[in-house]
Structure 1
Amino acid sequence: MQKILVFIILFLYCSLAWTQTKPNDSTATAVKSQKNIDFNVMPYISYNRNLEFMFGAIPMMMYKINQADTISPKNLSGASAIYTTNKSYFLALFNKFYFKEDSWRGTFFFMTGNQNSQFYMDDIDTPNFYDYGTKTTVVNFSVQRKIVKSLYAGIGYSYAHYDTTYQDDVQPASKTHTNGLQAIALYDTRDAVYYPTKGEKVRMRWVTFPEWFGNEVNANKILSEYNKYIPMRNGTDVLAARFSGKFGLGNIAFEQQVTIGGEDIRGYSEGKYRGDGLMAIQSEYRYNFNKKMGVVGFAGLATIYGSDTPDFNWKMYPGAGVGYRYKAFKTVKFNVGLDAAVGKDDWGIYFRIGEAF
């Protein structure tokens, strides 16, 4: 029943977008309507050593809530439906909102799926990768208010439900649900939110999972990031740098742990290096060879702590790679693309919606 409901939501969501757009021609993949809505459907294809081949579709639209508001960036709403050859699937809705002359910002995210993945264990007779499957439902939303120029503060809420089983019963099956409250601080001097060429973004989030809020045990997370953007070649290209830190405090559930990979450090897709916290630095050069296309080169280092395998803690894990970018919308610089990266005894291919950071 849950799967049927999700598909109905996705169908209505995409149908609403189509009814508000008017194509310019039959070959265009992105269109602009009289109501200033840009719509695009992007095919999704990727591969990593864990989920194997991934394919699906991502309809997205950009639009203004108030046409008279010339300061707020365009809002972004989208949906995704992805299936993998290891029989995982993911269905999601995602939204970014900007309104009242960018004095208010908001996000909403919903995801449900069944992830067949793996993790590494060495505290048993046969150290190896072991498969696990997790049925997941996640809801997350937040709102931020501008306090002074470039400085925002806000709150958020997240709900997650996990139903996990493990190969060969190496760990007992578990059902976990979490309710998280977030306090958010954001300092943002970027010249654009979807493709910044200069400025900084500093974001701090404190996420708490108290017992009185329906959680089985107390836990806390501190999530931090610092992004810097420097224009190059007279503003045609961008040199971007990032520091990220994810710090788990207290009783962090298996599903809440972090793994090296994703936007923090590309080149790791096996899910081997898992722990309670992570720190990573990386830099990326974004070379635009015409108005619609570009390439990137990136490199970084990461480390973790709180791993069940003590030898993994506080080691340096490098990652580096290259990628291709394509402008998805006509009126806003917003890229999609594909990255290929290598790490320590690992590698991965990543489909990008927007930039890595």
Structure 2
Amino acid sequence: MNYHSKQEWTQYLLHLPLPKSQRIKSIPKILLLILGLLPGVSREGNSQSFVRRYINGLINDTSDISKPQFLVYPTLAYSPETSWEIGFSSLYVYYSQQDTTNRLSEISGFTFFTLENQYGLWFDHALYSDQSKWFFLGRLRFQSFPLKYYGIGMDSSRDYLALVEANQILIKERVLRKVRDNLFFGLEIDFQRLGSVNFITAQETSDFELPIGSEGSSNLGIGAGIVYDNRHNVLNVRNGFFSELGYLKYFDGISTYEFNTIISDTRIYRPVGKHNVFAAQLLGQFNQGNTPFNQLALMGGDSMMRGYYSGRFRDNNQLASQVEMRFLPLPLGFSKRFGAAAFAGAATVFPDFSNLNLDKIAWSAGAGLRFLLFPKKDIYTRLDYALTAEGSGFYIFIGEAF
């Protein structure tokens, strides 16, 4: 297909279904839309006018603060795990009843395809009803791609043992009712299915014992959760406290394996001066029973322990923590839209508390840049660079890591 003008090429990019990789997550659409601002691009035509209005609204946030806002953008990324990756992301934010005294709700969607024939569709959401009477928190994952398996425990091999090909469906939803100011209680449901599983042993790896769930599994967990949450903007919290304690039971008969899981997640945010924020998080996951390998506590990813491949370390239990200092914005004379952050984290996984060894702790540290994408809603896009004992990683996302 040929495109004979910058206008046609810009329009093509805008509709190209170009996910998040494990290392570089997305390139903001602004970088691609610059083409529409270059000299020589026609100012005529309804399509081009729409593009210019979209760019202006995106960069300058011209919308009414109470109005819902929808952002779509193509993504392009690279990581050793996925090779080149193209995708299409979207973000929808709104206030219930268009009342800015309500909490900001957000829905994010994401689809991707990689040159390694990996593909998937993700949806995440944090939704608040009017006056926060109801709180819906959940995520959906439909994906097919190889997962690197390094073994179980902190002593697992630095080189992966096998590449696990599989199709995965993950649906987790919390339906919570406010019982008093900022305190919610309700039902939690978690469904995870891993099918068409195939362990492809790495060439340099000797034989190893396959983990529980290596033939695939379908597990439905039902439980309850209690959440304290006084955050107003979940994508960029400047002063607040969040704490979740959840219990899930995966019953025999409706699940391939019988086990239970406790999740504890506590986050604190405190302003430092007029623009800076100190944030800290403590995360725990504790499993008992015949837990399949894909539902063990996994260390690494784009939120906690940045720089590690998600699942680099896994076991029945995990304790993880991180702190972050955010400068939003930086005191620059030429712009108020650039910010920065510095972060550090530590974590460990272990089979049970009798075998908890605090000498075996992984660390992660790094820094990043921020760009104020939606000034009126105080939403930044972040570019983080993380270092670990085993390497490094880049991440680009809308919204803070936690």
Q: CA deviation at 1:47?
A: 4.2
Q: CA deviation at 1:193?
A: 2.8
Instruction: Provide, for residues 138-166 of structure 1, a one-character-per-residue CA deviation record: whole Å limited to 9, x for no partner.
Output: 22222111111221112121222111210
Q: CA deviation at 1:278?
A: 1.0
Structure whose residues are more often strand by fraction? 1
Q: CA deviation at 1:223?
A: 0.9
Who wins on radius of gyration, i.e. which is larger? 2
4+ residue runs of structure 1 moved beyond 6 angstroms?
A: 310-314
Tell me if 1:190 matches 2:221.
no
Identity of aligned residues (%): 23
TM value normalised by structure 2: 0.74
User: 1:27 matched to which residue of 2?
Assistant: 55
CA RMSD, Structure 1 to Structure 2 (Å) = 3.0
Tell me if 1:335 matches 2:380.
yes
Instruction: Provide, for residues 209-247 of structure 1, a one-character-per-residue CA deviation record: whole Å limited to 9, x for no partner.
Output: 1115x0123211111111111211x22011111111111
User: 1:219 matched to which residue of 2?
Assistant: 259
User: 1:4 matched to which residue of 2?
Assistant: none
TM value normalised by structure 1: 0.82
> Which residue identity is paired with 1:167?
I
Which residue of the other structure, out of 145, 155, 161, is the alignment partner of 1:115?
145
Q: For residues 259 and 50 of structure 1, do their structure 2 counterparts lie closer, same or farther at Cα, with a shift above 3 Å needed?
A: farther
User: 2:245 matched to which residue of 1?
Assistant: 204
Q: CA deviation at 1:114?
A: 0.7
Contact between 1:203 and 1:226, CA under 8 Å: does it hold in 2? yes
Q: CA deviation at 1:292?
A: 2.7
> Which residue identity is paired with 2:175?
V
Contact between 1:48 and 1:269, CA under 8 Å: does it hold in 2? no
Tell me if 1:41 matches 2:72.
yes
Q: CA deviation at 1:108?
A: 4.2
Instruction: Provide, for residues 157-209 of structure 1, a one-character-per-residue CA deviation record: whole Å limited to 9, x for no partner.
Output: 12221112101496495121111113111112335333111222111111211
Equivalenced residues, count: 330
- State how far apart, in whole Å, the 1-side matches of 2:323 and 2:162 are: 33
> 1:173-322 alignment to 2 at 5 Å?
174-212=215-253, 214-232=254-272, 234-262=273-301, 263-269=303-309, 271-287=311-327, 288-289=329-330, 291-306=336-351, 315-322=360-367
Q: For residues 286 and 347 of structure 1, do their structure 2 counterparts lie closer, same or farther at Cα, with a shift above 3 Å needed?
A: same
- State how far apart, in whole Å, the 2-side matches of 1:193 and 1:35 are: 16
Find the residue that maps to 2:55 and give its secondary structure.
Answer: coil
Query: Any stretches of 5+ residues in structure 2 without a counterpart?
Result: 1-16, 18-49, 202-206
Instruction: Provide, for residues 62-115 of structure 1, a one-character-per-residue CA deviation record: whole Å limited to 9, x for no partner.
Output: 123423x44322321231012234332121223221112112111343221112
User: 1:166 matched to which residue of 2?
Assistant: 199
> 1:7-86 alignment to 2 at 5 Å?
25-28=53-56, 30=58, 32=63, 36-67=67-98, 69-86=99-116
Tell me if 1:354 matches 2:399.
yes
- State how far apart, in whole Å, the 1-side matches of 2:398 and 2:359 are: 31
> Which residue identity is paired with 1:226?
T
Find the residue that maps to 1:331 and give its secondary structure.
Answer: helix
Q: For residues 270 and 253 of structure 1, do their structure 2 counterparts lie closer, same or farther at Cα, with a shift above 3 Å needed?
A: closer
Q: For residues 337 and 57 of structure 1, do their structure 2 counterparts lie closer, same or farther at Cα, with a shift above 3 Å needed?
A: farther
Q: For residues 314 and 82 of structure 1, do their structure 2 counterparts lie closer, same or farther at Cα, with a shift above 3 Å needed?
A: farther
Instruction: Provide, for residues 32-64 of structure 1, a one-character-per-residue CA deviation record: whole Å limited to 9, x for no partner.
Output: 489822111244344444334443221111123
Find the residue that maps to 2:150 and give its secondary structure.
Answer: strand
Query: Any stretches of 5+ residues in structure 1 without a counterpart?
Result: 1-6, 8-21
Tell me if 1:135 matches 2:180.
no
Instruction: Provide, for residues 244-273 of structure 1, a one-character-per-residue CA deviation record: whole Å limited to 9, x for no partner.
Output: 111111111011023221222112127432
Contact between 1:276 and 1:306, CA under 8 Å: does it hold in 2? yes
Contact between 1:38 and 1:329, CA under 8 Å: does it hold in 2? no
Find the residue that maps to 1:101 and give its secondary structure.
Answer: helix
Which residue of the other structure, out of 369, 372, 377, is the alignment partner of 1:324?
369
